[in-house]
Amino acid sequence: MQEKYTKAYAEKLDAADALRTFRNEFYLKNECVYMDGNSLGLMSKRAEQSVYDVMASWKEHAIDGWTGGEIPWYYLSELLGDNMAGLVGAKKEEVIVTGSTTVNMHQLVSTFYQPEGKRTKILADALNFPSDIYALKAQLALQGYDDAHLIQVPSEDGHTLDEEAIINAMTEEVALIVLPSVLYRSGQVLDMEMLTKAAHERGIKIGFDLCHSIGAIPHELHDWNVDFAFWCTYKHLNAGPGSVAALFVNENHFGISPGLAGWFSSDKEKQFDMEHTLTPAADAGAFQIGTPHVLSAAPLIGALELFQEAGIGKIRRKSLQLTAYMMDVIEYELGEFDFIICNPINEKQRGGHIYLEHPEAARICKALKWKNVIPDFRKPSGIRLAPVALYNSFEDVYHCVQTLKNIMEEKAYEQFSNEREVVS
């Protein structure tokens, strides 16, 4: 066996890892290799502490916690937006932490989808996460249009999108474009800068769903002139299940009225004037709707500290090293077991996870969990494995692939049904 495929080699890579100490910041289950951080990130000790801190503030200050204490809740969404802006390449005024992914998508589409004349259609893709498509169809229906007004660019291989095909679909009938930054199955990274430029050359506004890229890859939303974006915080950002989402609105659009106005859309200096005519905030805060979910935002306070210390550039570099190493070991160890690597090989196009396909994928995922390796299954035959830069090691990757090899050699997966669980 070549040294490259030994545990000792993985340990050597870990010893040279500039981010290795961040692993100690997270709660890792003993003898468990967690490879599902692209669905739900692990809890960090700092995220846990920031929840305790906010709870203590509630206990001590009660109603005065809105404007008193170490972190006043009234300004928490703006503070977290400022702390997160560097991860998306935005000005602090362009990012606000609020709502959930789909609520924020409804807000932004209702604001920027303005059908007029023959421009009545929304351009999306055929590989997007279902929630985004549900929301787009609902927004079309609210404007009196049927599903035929949603253009979904198809995939030739069922895993990736051709960006030229997307650009070719930017016709004079398109009023708005909404695309993922990273495809949730295959992990393909779309060229947001190129697509934004092409959209604007054709007079079309464009926005991106960053759920599978935020915290894993760098962005330059402001410099790319992206119109808007939205994302969750419970995947690579490690802010916990159901943690508060966030959105970006380019400063070019400050001053427009939010499509879905609400209490916290207000200018903060005027909000408690209690007027029945809204004075929107002059920045991304205008796109909030309801009162901030303070307890669900609390983990982000600690979680984002780790990203500020590690730096998204270093995180991306290690992520690419981890996924490249995983693919290399998979090809060496699993070549006889009919696995197909369906994620992009090219680093520019590869996100933060590996996507394998196998006819027995559902039962293989169950066997992996039985062996204390946590993967992610995607119907009908996909296995997602996400070695996360802040807490996964190269030894984790080695152990994951070796476990998968043992399962296939022993046919241990045959004791499980090849059907997904209720949540997969």
Residues near 106 by beta carbon (within 8 Å), at least 6 away in sequence: 135, 138, 139, 260
Nearest to 278 by CA among 289, 267, 269: 267
Q: What are phi and psi of 174, to 5 degrees?
A: -90, 125
Amino acid at 404: L
Please report the pLDDT score of residue 384 as a whole number. 98
Domain locations in the chain?
A: 3-30+311-415, 49-309
> DSSP for 268-296?
TTTGGG--SS--B-SSGGGG--S---HHH
Q: Quick one: pLDDT at residue 1?
A: 63
Report strand pairing: 373-374 vs 33-34. Answer: parallel
Instruction: Supply the DSSP symbol for 229.
Output: E
Which residues belong to the annotated binding site?
Answer: 101-102, 129-132, 209, 212, 234, 263, 291
- Going 167 to 102 to 73 to 44, the CA torsion angle's sign is negative
Q: Please, which residues have CB within 8 angstroms of residue 347's CB and are 6 or more apart in sequence? A: 320, 324
Quick count: other Cβ atoms within 10 Å of Cβ 128?
20
Using a 10 angstrom Cβ sphere, with 0-12 exposed, 13-18 middle and 19 or more buried, the burial of residue 249 is: buried
Distance between CA atoms of residues 43 and 238, nearest Å = 6
Binding residues for pyridoxal 5'-phosphate: 101-102, 129-132, 209, 212, 234, 263, 291
State the DSSP string of 91-140. -GGGEEE-S-HHHHHHHHHHHH---BTTB-EEEEETTS-HHHHHHHHHHH
The Cα 223–Cα 207 span in angstroms is: 14
Query: What is the CA 40 to chain-centroid distance, rounded?
Result: 10
Q: Does domain 49-309 have CATH number 2.40.50.420?
A: no
Determine the Cα–Cα distance for residues 86 and 174; give it in Å rounded to an integer. Answer: 31
> Helix 394-410 and helix 312-333: axis angle, to 10°?
30
Contacts of 222 (CB under 8 A, 6+ apart): 89, 90, 91, 94, 250, 251
Please measure the distance between the N-terminal and C-terminal CA atoms of the chain and give it in whole angstroms.
35
Report which residue type is found at 61: H
DSSP three-state, residue 44:
strand
pLDDT per residue, tens digit, the chain (424 aa), is 688 899 999 999 999 999 999 999 999 988 899 999 999 999 999 999 999 999 999 999 999 999 999 999 999 999 999 999 999 999 999 999 999 999 999 999 999 999 999 999 999 999 999 999 999 999 999 999 999 999 999 999 999 999 999 999 999 999 999 999 999 999 999 999 999 999 999 999 999 999 999 999 999 999 999 999 999 999 999 999 999 999 999 999 999 999 999 999 999 999 999 999 999 999 999 999 999 999 999 999 999 999 999 999 999 999 999 999 999 999 999 999 999 999 999 999 999 999 999 999 999 999 999 999 999 999 999 999 999 999 999 999 999 999 999 999 999 999 999 887 876 6
CATH class of the 3-30+311-415 domain in this structure: alpha beta
